Amino acid sequence: MKGVKGVETRMLTKKAARKQSMRREVPLHVMMIPGMIALIVFAYIPMAGLVIAFQRFNPAKGLFGDNPLIGWDNFRFIFAMPGIWRVIYNTLYISIMKILFGTLVPIAVALMLNECRTVMFKRTIQTTVYFPYFLSWIVLGGLFLDNLSPSSGIVNQIIKGFGGQEIYFLGDNKWFPFTLISTDVWKNFGFNSIVYLAAITSIDTSLYEAAAIDGAGRWKQVLHITLPGMRMIVVLMMVLSLGNLFNAGFEQIFNLYTPQVYESGDVIDTLIYRVGLQQAQFGPSTAIGLVKACVSMILISISYYVAWKHFDYQIF
Per-residue pLDDT of the chain (316 residues; tens, 9 = 90+): 445 555 556 665 667 667 777 778 788 888 889 999 999 999 888 888 888 889 888 887 877 778 888 888 889 988 888 889 999 999 999 999 999 999 899 999 988 888 888 888 888 888 888 889 998 999 998 889 888 888 888 888 888 888 888 888 888 899 999 999 999 999 999 888 888 888 888 888 888 888 888 888 888 888 888 888 888 888 778 777 877 888 888 899 998 888 888 898 899 999 999 988 888 888 889 899 899 888 888 888 888 787 777 766 665 5
Buried b (16+ CB within 10 A) or exposed e, 76-109: ebbeeeeeeeebbebbeebbebbbeebbebbbeb
Residue 85: enclosing H or E segment and its boundaries? helix 84-115
For 90, 174, 194, 210, the CA distances from 84, given in Å and listed in that order, are 10, 19, 37, 57
DSSP-assigned letter for residue 69: B
Cβ atoms of residues 166 and 151 within 8 Å: yes
Looking at residue 222, its pLDDT comes to 84
Look at residue 248 in the predicted model and tell me its pLDDT.
84
pLDDT at 90: 92
Rounded Cα distance between 208 and 246, Å, is: 41
Rounded CA separation 59/65 (Å): 9
Q: What sign does the CA torsion over 30, 31, 37, 39 have? A: negative
Whether residue 176 contacts residue 90, with contact meaning beta carbons closer than 8 Å, is answered with no
Q: Cα separation of 103 and 90, whole Å? A: 20
